Amino acid sequence: MTLLRHFLFAFVTALFAGVSASAQTAPQISGAIVADLGKLRELTEAKSYPPALALIDRLLGTVRPESYDRALLSQIKAQILLTDGRYTEAIAPLEDALRLAERNPAFLPDATTLESLFLLAQLHQQAASENKDLATQRAALARASEYLRRWQTRAPAPTPEGQRFAASLLYQRATLDPDRIDEALLDEAQRAAREGLVLQLQPPADLYVLLLASHQQRGENAEAAELLELLLQKTPDNLGYWQQLVSSYLALAASAKYEREADAHNLRALLSLERAQARGLLDSPKEHFNRVALLLNLRQLDPAIALLEKGLVDGTLENTRRNWELLANAYQQAAREPEAVSALQRAVAALPADGQLEFTLAQLFYAAGRIADARRHLERAVEKGSLATPGQAHLFLAYTAYELQDHAAAARHARDAAAFDDVKKEDLARLTQAISEAASAPAPATKP
């Protein structure tokens, strides 16, 4: 409502200046209200608005319906209400004054009439914003658009302020019902914003923001990213713009049809994250994890490993099972198995109550042929608990005991596994039979 505030003082000053000069110019104020206008001015200058409004209402009851007196009093009433912050109440008297002025062009200067049209457009938009009923909002915005159209018709040339308001109003109308976006109005909003951009050497950022919102509304991520890059040149420390830029590139990568195209967008997302972090922004553990994830998506294992190692030490990444397992997995993808094992051993030390990490470490040891080590960590896993598949852990433990020929322990762990739903009956039956057969087989004869 900045422009409204600009009008308040200017209108009141101009109106009372007009009152002082009215004796020499047409139209004439009637003698019946001249004396009261002096009192009205005193009340207004003293900010005694309630008695001033009461005086105006009394005078309005005495003047002719189509008179200059009514136009002037209605205009002053509107300005007092605006000055007092009663914007919606100001609409009716301002519309009354405008109606009389358009029927009698001499009643108000052309500039005041033009400003009244623009002001009424703003007031109806404000009224729409203050109402929650969709139908009422739509009607108010339609009236705002009609006043704006009349203002544009009469204005000598497009103005930056006018284009900004037009674009904003059109966008508001287009997106009033989020479930039913008006694409035609959205097109008009974009055109109005683009026309506003060429009216100034340094266009205001809000025109770019409105264009950005309209592209985001349509899921046009490439256009949105381009505008965000431009906005960040103007305000490089705007956290919201950096977040939206990264999101735009990630959305483009997710919708890409080919790996090369996805890589290009993921790389832009990664570089945007790094640029933001260089400014101290997007510096939370979540964003640092996203940076690691992007490096892994781009198959950049060594930089990803370096960030994971650093982050788990200095706290820029959370000390969680997910991050430790991601580090171990990255080492595995890089064919650095001993370092994968070391990472999980450090994870177990960092999160001593987490049985799932013990289970994952056991899997690595088993894959490396270190059956006894696998069994030891499986025993710790089932003891600590918090396992995603506890039955599978017991079954795996039974299998390692079987391979190490500890048949009694293998049978015991197999019975424990049977208590869990995540174990397939056929797997358990095969292992149980193998353990039974091995346990009952005669010991091999020793050579003399």
Query: How far apart, in whole angstroms, are the C-alpha atoms of residue 32 and residue 338?
Result: 102
pTM: 0.77
Axis-axis angle for helices 239-255, 221-234 (nearest 10): 160
What pLDDT does 18 receive?
Answer: 47
pLDDT of 23 above 70: no
The stretch 189-204 carries a mean pLDDT of: 89
At the topology level, CATH places domain 365-437 in 1.25.40
What whole-number distance in Å separates Cα of residue 192 and Cα of residue 207?
Answer: 9
Quick one: average pLDDT of 59-73?
90
Please compute, for residue 423, the number of CA atoms within 13 A of its CA located in the half-sphere on the CB side.
Answer: 25
The CATH number of 1-156 is 1.25.40.10
Please tell me the total number of residues recorded for the chain in this structure: 448
Is there a cis peptide before residue 236, judged by omega within 30 degrees of 0? no
What mean pLDDT is reported for the chain? 89
CA distance 331 to 305: 7
CA–CA separation, 1 vs 124, rounded Å?
12
Q: How many CA atoms lie within 13 A of 243 on its CB side?
A: 9
Q: How far apart are CA 211 and CA 229, in angstroms?
A: 13
Evaluate whether 59 touches 80 at the Cβ level (below 8 Å): no
Give the start-end residues of each E strand in 132-218: none
pLDDT of residue 5: 45
CA–CA distance, 38 with 44 (Å, rounded to integer): 10
Predicted confidence (pLDDT) per residue in 401-434, tens digit: 989 999 889 899 989 889 888 988 898 889 888 8
Q: Which of 308, 337, 330 is nearest to 320 (CA)?
A: 308
370-376-381 Cα angle (round to 5): 120
pLDDT at 443: 57
Q: How many CB atoms lie within 10 A of CB 61?
A: 7
Q: Per-residue pLDDT tens for 216-252?
A: 999 999 999 999 999 999 999 999 999 999 999 999 9
pLDDT at 25: 52
Confidence of residue 2 (pLDDT cuts 50, 70, 90): very low
Mean pLDDT of 64-86: 91
Q: CATH 1.25.40.10 residue ranges in the chain?
A: 1-156
| Residue 182 exposure: Cα atoms within 13 Å on the Cβ side | 16
**Given the structure tokens 């062009």, which residue do they identify?**
105
Residue 15 has pLDDT above 80, yes or no: no
User: Above 60 in pLDDT, residue 17?
Assistant: no
Distance CA 432, CA 36 (A): 107
306 has pLDDT over 90 = yes
Task: Mention every residue, 6+ apart, whose C-beta is less than 8 A from residue 304.
Answer: 292, 295, 296, 330
Is the pLDDT assigned to residue 99 strictly greater than 90?
yes
In the chain, % of residues over pLDDT 70 = 92
Between residues 271 and 111, the one the model is more confident about = 271
> 391, 420 in Cβ contact below 8 A?
yes
Q: For Cα atoms 302, 307, 309, give the angle at the middle one, nearest 5 degrees.
A: 90
Q: Rounded CA gap, 366 and 347, in Å?
A: 18
- Confidence band, pLDDT 50/70/90 cuts, at residue 444: low
Q: Which amino acid is at 226?
A: E
Mean pLDDT of 146-161: 91
Of 155 and 23, the structure prediction assigns the larger pLDDT to 155
Residue 319, pLDDT > 90, answer yes
Measured in degrees and rounded to the nearest 5, phi and psi for residue 351 equal: -130, 70
pLDDT on residue 446: 54
Q: What mean pLDDT is predicted for residues 87-104?
A: 92
- Please state, in angstroms and rounded to a whole number, the distance separating the CA atoms of residues 296 and 214: 33
Is the pLDDT at 32 greater than 70, yes or no? yes
Quote the pLDDT of residue 445: 55
Q: For residue 19, what pLDDT band results from cuts at 50, 70 and 90?
A: very low
Burial, 22: exposed, middle or buried (Cβ in 10 Å; 0-12, 13-18, 19+)?
A: middle
Tokens of 364: 């690595």
3-state class (DSSP) for residue 418 = coil
Q: What is the pLDDT of residue 107?
A: 87
Of 24-38, 144-158, 168-182, the one with minimum mean pLDDT is 24-38
> Contact at 8 Å (CB) between 111 and 18?
no
Give the list of residues 6+ apart from residue 114 with CB closer than 8 angstroms, or none: 151, 154, 155
> Model confidence over 433-443: pLDDT tens digits?
888 888 786 65
